Amino acid sequence: MENLVSDQQDVSLADQNPIIALCEYHLDLNAQRLFASINGKEVARRVLLLFPPSLKDEITLITSYLHAVGATVLTGDMSGAWSQYISNNSVTDEHGRKQDPSGVILYHPSIFNYWEFPSFLHTLANGHINHFQLGIDQSLLDHPEAANAYKSVRLFPTGDLVLLTDDLLQQKPAQALSVIDAFIKTMTPKPRGARNERLVFRPGMLAFVSKLMDVSDQQDVRVKLYLRIISLIESERKDGVIPGSRSASFVSLPAEDAPAYAGLWEADERKATDWLVNWFAGWCVLQRERFGRFTVVSGRSGEAWAKKYQHINAWTPEKYVSRRKTR
């Protein structure tokens, strides 16, 4: 009922206010979409507008629209506005108890350095902040149909990307197997179209894990790990899923697409793991329209990675398995 009343109010406002009609037609803004959340309850009408200060006319017009639909708006320099929004955006329930921050963040397409925003991960994890890109995406201008298209695009929807590093597979195969089993257990009951979760591996993953079979004892956990990976790939292949495709559960770049990684693990295991995490952090940014949570599971401490990249979790295998059980 709360959403229905809010939707009706937004429709009537659009009929009365030319700014609303203008922005919804030309800027692809829609209050119902902006403030809707995944669980159906509207997020708070508190908006952080992250646009280059030079775009004064756009900022003024968008701010006027947001005010017209009953939102409070925060703008300013990137670091100061962000910190203020995160620290002052907690809300209280009817009993006065503080709840997670709630609201909307609008990014200009030129702003995508999410890894630099302090506590960015918290805005993805709490489920009460909607993220949108708003504007003309210059990277699409070589596509005629996208030229001059001012669009609002939902970012960071429900969905997980989980990187398993080489050191975990090679040095802690039992823990790696527990991670994969936990992933399979929570993914399998879902219809294939709803499985927006992927395990990510190093480039050329199959050739790498096949070396795990080079043991004499077929009961060795490394053999079990290899067979578990192969069985999942084969089960999906039977369902018509192409290994490595957008709908596959396992993601691994072809080795030839990452020549810098070739031989790196054999030369320097620590350097290779850092390279893989750095690649993953950047690749996750490119996947921001399809996935909303990004996690590295490694055999070593990920504290430095989590500090460097504010948009990713860095978990031990034990923590990953524990979190999957509570979902």
What is 198-217 written as a DSSP string?
Answer: EEE--TTHHHHHHGGG-SS-
Tell me what pLDDT residue 244 has.
Answer: 60
One domain, residues 136 and 29 = yes
One domain, residues 151 and 165 = no
One domain, residues 150 and 181 = no
DSSP state, residue 186: H
One domain, residues 150 and 254 = no
Domain boundary among 155, 189, 215: 155
**What would the pLDDT profile of 37-77 be if each residue is shown by its tens digit?**
866 778 999 999 999 999 999 999 999 999 999 999 999 76
One domain, residues 67 and 201 = no
**Cα separation, 4 vs 16, whole angstroms:** 19
- Can you give the residue range of the structural domain that contains 93? 2-155
- The residue ranges of DSSP E strands in the chain, in sequence order, are 46-50, 72-74, 91-92, 98-99, 103-107, 129-135, 151-155, 160-164, 197-200, 250-251, 293-297, 313-315
One domain, residues 144 and 259 = no
One domain, residues 181 and 109 = no
**Cα separation, 126 vs 39, whole angstroms:** 12
One domain, residues 130 and 182 = no
Distance of CA 146 to the CA centre of its chain: 24
Number of domains in the chain: 2
Domain boundary among 155, 186, 205: 155
**Cα separation, 59 vs 68, whole angstroms:** 14
**What would the pLDDT profile of 227-248 be if each residue is shown by its tens digit?**
888 888 877 776 666 666 666 7
One domain, residues 121 and 174 = no
Tell me what pLDDT residue 235 has.
Answer: 74
Tell me what pLDDT residue 129 has.
Answer: 92
- b (16+ CB within 10 A) / e for 36-56: bbeeeebbbbbbbbbbeeeee
**For residues 273 and 167, is the Cβ–Cβ distance under 8 A?**
yes
One domain, residues 181 and 279 = yes
- Which pair of tokens denotes residue 323? 């979190």
Please list the ranges in the chain whose pLDDT falls under 50: 1-2, 4-5
Tell me what pLDDT residue 137 has.
Answer: 83
Of 43, 315, 313, the closest CA to residue 179 belongs to 315
Tell me what pLDDT residue 4 has.
Answer: 46
One domain, residues 38 and 100 = yes
One domain, residues 313 and 173 = yes
Q: In CATH, what number is assigned to the domain containing residue 137?
A: 3.40.1010.30
Domain boundary among 132, 155, 178: 155
